[in-house]
Structure 1
Amino acid sequence: MASANNSGSTTAGSIAVREAGAPDELAGPGTGRMVSQPADARQVAVASYDVADFPVPNGREEDWRFTPLDRLRGLHDGTFGNVGEAAVEVEAPAGVVVETVGRDDARVGKAGAPVDRVAAQAYSAFEKATVVTFPKELAPGEPVVVRTRGTGTTGFGHLTVSVEAFAEAVVVLEHTGKAVYADNVEFLVADGARLTVISVQDWEDGSVHLAHQVARLGRDATFKSVAVTLGGDVVRLFPRVVYDAPGGDASLYGVYFADSGQHLEHRLFVDHDVPRCRSLVTYKGALQGAEARTVWIGDVLIRAAAEGTDTYELNRNLLLTDGARADSVPNLEIETGEIAGAGHASATGRFDDEQLFYLQARGIPADEARRLVVRGFFAEVIAQIGLPELQERLMARIEAELEASV
Structure 2
Amino acid sequence: MTATNTAPTVPGAAAHSHGPGSPVPVQTRSERFRSTNHADFPAVTGREAEWKLTPVDKVRDLIDGELDGSALPTTVTEAAGVSVEWVGVEDARVGSAGTPEDRASANAWSRTEKALVVTLSAEEHTEVTIDRTGADHQPRAAHTVIVAKPNARGLVIIDNRGSARLSENVEIVAEDGSHLTVVSLQEWDDDSVHLSAQFARVDKSATLTHLVVSLGGSVVRVNPSAALAGDGATGNLYGLYFSDAGQHLEQQVFVHHIAPHTVSDVLYKGALNGQGARTVWIGDVLIGRDATGTDSYEANRNLVLSDGTRADSIPNLEIETGDIAGAGHASATGRFDDEQLFYLRSRGIAEKEARRLVVLGFLLEIVQKIGQAELEQRLVAAVEAELDAVESI
Fold equivalence (TM over 0.5): yes
- Counterpart position of 1:351: 336
Map residues 330-341 of structure 1 onto 2, 5 A cutoff. 330-341=315-326
Change (3 A) 1:168 1:236: same
Instruction: Tell me how far 1:36 sits from its aligned partner.
Output: 8.7
- Counterpart position of 1:145: 129
Map residues 39-50 of structure 1 onto 2, 5 A cutoff. 40-41=27-28, 45-50=32-37
Q: Is 2:104 aligned against 1:109? A: no
Question: For residues 220 and 43 of structure 1, what CA distance do their matches in structure 2 show?
Answer: 22
Map residues 148-297 of structure 1 onto 2, 5 A cutoff. 148-149=132-133, 150-297=135-282
The correspondence for 1:396, drawn from 371, 381, 384, is 381
Question: For residues 22 and 295 of structure 1, what CA distance do their matches in structure 2 show?
Answer: 27
Change (3 A) 1:166 1:36: farther
Question: For residues 378 and 191 of structure 2, what CA distance do their matches in structure 1 show?
Answer: 22
Change (3 A) 1:326 1:338: same
Preserved CA contact (<8 Å) 1:73 1:180: no
Instruction: Tell me how far 1:362 sits from its aligned partner.
Output: 3.9
- Counterpart position of 2:119: 133
Question: For residues 21 and 235 of structure 1, what CA distance do their matches in structure 2 show?
Answer: 26
- Counterpart code for 1:187: I
Q: Is 2:43 aligned against 1:56? A: yes
Question: For residues 170 and 30 of structure 2, what CA distance do their matches in structure 1 show?
Answer: 23
Map residues 45-84 of structure 1 onto 2, 5 A cutoff. 45-76=32-63, 78-79=64-65
Once the two structures are superposed, residues 347-391 of structure 1 have per-residue CA deviations (whole angstroms, 9 ceiling, x without a partner) of 000123554455345443343222211111012211100011111
Instruction: Tell me how far 1:309 sits from its aligned partner.
Output: 0.9
Instruction: Tell me how far 1:57 sits from its aligned partner.
Output: 1.3
Instruction: Tell me how far 1:30 sits from its aligned partner.
Output: 10
Q: Is 2:286 aligned against 1:301? A: yes
Q: Which moves more between the two structures, 283-292 or 301-310?
A: 301-310
- Counterpart code for 2:37: D
Preserved CA contact (<8 Å) 2:75 2:130: yes
Question: For residues 240 and 271 of structure 2, what CA distance do their matches in structure 1 show?
Answer: 8
Q: Is 2:304 aligned against 1:319? A: yes
Query: Percent sequence identity over matched residues?
Result: 48
Once the two structures are superposed, residues 48-97 of structure 1 have per-residue CA deviations (whole angstroms, 9 ceiling, x without a partner) of 11111111211111111100101114212x23677776421101311211
- Counterpart code for 2:130: V
Give the TM-score normalised by structure 1: 0.88
Change (3 A) 1:243 1:394: same
- Counterpart position of 2:84: 98
Question: For residues 87 and 67 of structure 2, what CA distance do their matches in structure 1 show?
Answer: 25
- Counterpart position of 1:32: 20
Question: For residues 196 and 35 of structure 1, what CA distance do their matches in structure 2 show?
Answer: 40
- Secondary structure of 1:75's counterpart equals helix
Instruction: Tell me how far 1:180 sits from its aligned partner.
Output: 0.7
Once the two structures are superposed, residues 168-225 of structure 1 have per-residue CA deviations (whole angstroms, 9 ceiling, x without a partner) of 1110111011111011111111111110111110000111101011110111111001
- Counterpart code for 1:116: D
Change (3 A) 1:64 1:25: farther
Preserved CA contact (<8 Å) 1:312 1:342: yes
Preserved CA contact (<8 Å) 1:30 1:54: no
Instruction: Tell me how far 1:122 sits from its aligned partner.
Output: 0.7
Preserved CA contact (<8 Å) 2:136 2:165: no
- Secondary structure of 1:368's counterpart equals helix
Count, aligned residues: 383
Question: For residues 236 and 30 of structure 2, what CA distance do their matches in structure 1 show?
Answer: 25
- Counterpart code for 1:153: Q
Change (3 A) 1:85 1:160: closer
Give the TM-score normalised by structure 2: 0.91
Instruction: Tell me how far 1:240 sits from its aligned partner.
Output: 0.5
Question: For residues 315 and 22 of structure 1, what CA distance do their matches in structure 2 show?
Answer: 29
Q: Which runs of 5+ in 2 are unaligned?
A: none
Once the two structures are superposed, residues 5-64 of structure 1 have per-residue CA deviations (whole angstroms, 9 ceiling, x without a partner) of xxxxxxxxxxxxxx997555899x9971649987x4589621111111111211111111
Q: Which runs of 5+ in 1 are unaligned?
A: 1-18
Preserved CA contact (<8 Å) 2:252 2:281: yes
- Secondary structure of 1:346's counterpart equals strand
- Secondary structure of 1:393's counterpart equals helix
Once the two structures are superposed, residues 201-260 of structure 1 have per-residue CA deviations (whole angstroms, 9 ceiling, x without a partner) of 000011110101111011111100111110000011110111222110000111100000
Change (3 A) 1:386 1:44: closer
Preserved CA contact (<8 Å) 1:310 1:342: yes
Question: For residues 71 and 23 of structure 1, what CA distance do their matches in structure 2 show?
Answer: 30
Question: For residues 23 and 179 of structure 2, what CA distance do their matches in structure 1 show?
Answer: 34
